[in-house]
């Protein structure tokens, strides 16, 4: 599956990323519940003990998976931001991208932000900060300093809230996540100067 060479060898050769990849697949297919260490090893075609060469414990693998998620989120936000016409449009585009990201991979979103979120892994903290930086940077680009913190927090809250409600099945709306995100983002932007 994830072997680099075609020959079936005793050594996998690239197990660490393969484990992260397997974990991402399991998250997509079965949610957080399906993400056991043993399931990951089964998916990667490796013994139950193999991960311990690369991660000291299950939590550390989860932290790497979450960090991977934050890196993807940062890239998504950056792309949305730079494709926009002006600063306020860029902020709106980031909001929509945030919600779309969550809905495309709900279990990953939950792992990144939810109760099961791994703690005290510097790699993870840094990846999260980098993603947040994309939003904060955009806010700083047009918002006067005294209001920046509140505006950034409000923007983050509204898209995080909408994403969470969607991901957790609280909304019975017919509208697509992206349409809802656009309407909500638009409304909040009215109050951002």
Partner DNA sequence: TGTACATCAGTGAACGCGCGTTCACTGATGTAC
Residue 181 · residue 95 · CB < 8 Å: yes
Q: State the DSSP string of 128-150.
A: HHHHHHHHHHHHHTTS-HHHHHH
Among 16, 31, 34, 71, binds a copy of itself (CB under 8 A): 31
Distance of CA 158 to the CA centre of its chain: 16
Closest approach, Cβ 74 to a copy of itself, in A, equals 15
Q: Does residue number 126 form part of the binding site for DNA (CB under 7 A)? A: no
Closest approach, Cβ 19 to a copy of itself, in A, equals 23
Rounded to an integer, what distance in angstroms lies between the CA atom of residue 149 and that of residue 127? 20
Among 9, 141, 170, 173, binds DNA (CB under 7 A): 9
Among 54, 88, 148, 160, binds DNA (CB under 7 A): 54
Q: Does residue number 10 form part of the binding site for DNA (CB under 7 A)? A: yes
- Cβ proximity to DNA, 18 vs 67, nearer residue: 18
47 binds, among DNA, a copy of itself, none (CB under 5 to 8 A by kind): DNA
Q: Does residue number 162 form part of the binding site for a copy of itself (CB under 8 A)? A: yes
Closest approach, Cβ 175 to a copy of itself, in A, equals 9
Q: Which residue ranges make up the site for a copy of itself (CB under 8 A)?
A: 31-32, 107, 110, 113-115, 117, 119, 128, 150-151, 153-154, 156-165, 168-171, 173, 180, 183-184, 187-192
Q: Which residue ranges make up the site for DNA (CB under 7 A)?
A: 9-13, 15, 36-39, 46-50, 52-54, 57-59
């Amino acid at each position: 599956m994830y072997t680099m060479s075609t020959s079936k060898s005793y050594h996998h050769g690239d197990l660490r990323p393969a484990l992260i990849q397997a974990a991402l697949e399991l998250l997509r297919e079965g949610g957080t519940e399906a993400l056991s260490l043993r399931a990951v090893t089964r998916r990667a075609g490796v013994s139950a003990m193999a991960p311990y060469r690369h991660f000291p414990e299950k939590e550390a693998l989860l932290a790497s998976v979450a960090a991977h998620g934050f890196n993807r989120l940062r890239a998504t936000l950056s792309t949305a931001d730079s494709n926009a016409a002006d600063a306020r449009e860029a902020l709106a585009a980031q909001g929509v991208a945030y919600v779309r990201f969550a809905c495309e991979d709900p279990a990953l979103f939950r792992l990144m932000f939810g109760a099961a979120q791994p703690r005290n892994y510097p790699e993870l903290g840094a990846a999260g900060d980098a993603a947040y930086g994309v939003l904060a940077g955009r806010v700083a680009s047009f918002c006067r300093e005294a209001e920046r913190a509140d505006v950034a927090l409000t923007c983050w809250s509204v898209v995080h809230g909408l994403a969470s409600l969607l991901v957790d099945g609280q909304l019975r709306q017919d509208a697509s996540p992206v349409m809802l995100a656009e309407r909500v983002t638009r409304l909040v932007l009215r109050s951002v100067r």
